[in-house]
Amino acid sequence: MLELAETQGALVINNPRAIRDHNEKLAITKFPQFIAPTLVTSQAHLIREFLSTHQDIILKPLDGMGGASVFRVHSADHNINVILETLTHYGTRTIMAQRFIPEIAQGDKRILLIAGKAAPYSLARIPNRVKHVAIWRRGYRKNTTLSERDQRSRNFLDLN
């Protein structure tokens, strides 16, 4: 819609193609100091090695949303082969693996940056108590203030 509006003369500040093509899941890899150990691959043997190292991981498609096809896998999971076949389409589709972080129960904060400075409040996505990936499904959202840790790390972007 934005591309069409732009061709008809509307002023569009952010390039619609860039917004559409920007993969949120991959964007985190620009800030490795702030993320859990992460692997992006289509190769099942690399994911198994990652699982062997971390014992408890999350697997998710890069193009998914709303928690669709997100799996938590433990080192003793008997379904790992079928999960990997399904998610990677037999090695033809790249997925993301991340070490599971138990603290996710406290929520996943979305911090708004304006000119590299964090707004004083953020949106926290809180999982329900039944499903670990409920931050995407059936969880809830709440406004929250930035923690002391958030305050210390909020200016990691130098836009000047």
Mean pLDDT of 23-43: 90
Under 8 Å between Cβ of 153 and 146: no
Per-residue pLDDT at 159 exceeds 50: no
Mean pLDDT of 51-59: 97
What is the pLDDT, as a whole number, of residue 153?
A: 62
Domains and CATH numbers, the chain: 31-100 (3.30.1490.20), 104-153 (3.30.470.20)
CA–CA dist 25, 46 (Å, integer): 19
Mean pLDDT of the chain, nearest integer: 83
Which two tokens mark 82?
A: 């079928």
Task: Record the pTM.
Answer: 0.75
Under 8 Å between Cβ of 127 and 68: no
**Identity of residue 146:** L
Per-residue pLDDT at 78 exceeds 90: yes
